[in-house]
Amino acid sequence: MIRKKPWNRINLPVYSISSRFENIYNMNICTYTSAVSMKPKQIMVAIYNDTKTLEIINNSPKFVLQLLAANQYRMVDLLGKKSGKNIDKISRLEKRELIAEWNGYKILKDALALTELKIENTMQAGDHKLFLCTVIDYKNLNDGEALTLDDLREHRLIRI
């Protein structure tokens, strides 16, 4: 018997968003993403309401989507279960020497790939804000398997 809802049956990749506005940086976890156009290359990204990342992105026209590696599942506790409004995630990551810089953004040096996005349009979508973005730059960093929702389920970080 299949117990999962249809939208939870798909094994989506796990990303982290790196955002910046002036000297304020933050990262969070994001799984609601999808390519929506080939020419120009555009990606839809949904960001949870009332987050530090959303506050920063509302003040900045660009951000970076980082494809996480399967061995980065431990990042979910810091980047997804804690709020940037309460802790400085970047300082914690820098102390652990997990941060590098790319195109002026703080990035996770062990991520598989980076995609810099420029916001073209937005709309409110329930408990998330939806961003239609154009790819302005990208870089493959490391070989490896992508972190997925099934990996998070296996490590009991999510229950769906």
Q: Does residue 2 belong to any structural domain of this protein?
A: no
Report CA Rg, the chain. 15
In tens, the pLDDT along 87-115 reads: 999 999 999 999 999 999 999 999 999 99
- List, in sequence order, the alpha helices (H) in 11-104: 52-57, 75-81, 89-95
Q: Does residue 20 belong to any structural domain of this protein?
A: yes
Q: Does residue 7 belong to any structural domain of this protein?
A: no
Q: Does residue 72 belong to any structural domain of this protein?
A: yes
Quote the pTM value: 0.94
| Residue-level pLDDT at 48 | 94
Its domain, for residue 96, covers 13-37+44-154
Q: Are 71 and 81 in contact, with CB atoms under 8 Å apart?
A: no
Is the model's pLDDT at 160 over the cut of 70?
Answer: no
Q: Does residue 160 belong to any structural domain of this protein?
A: no
| Residue-level pLDDT at 89 | 95
Q: Does residue 1 belong to any structural domain of this protein?
A: no
Query: CA distances (Å), 6 to each of 12, 16, 45, 127, 148, in order?
Result: 13, 24, 20, 19, 17
Q: Give the domain CATH number at 29.
A: 2.30.110.10
Is the model's pLDDT at 118 over the cut of 90?
Answer: yes
Number of domains present in the structure of the chain: 1
Is the model's pLDDT at 4 over the cut of 90?
Answer: no
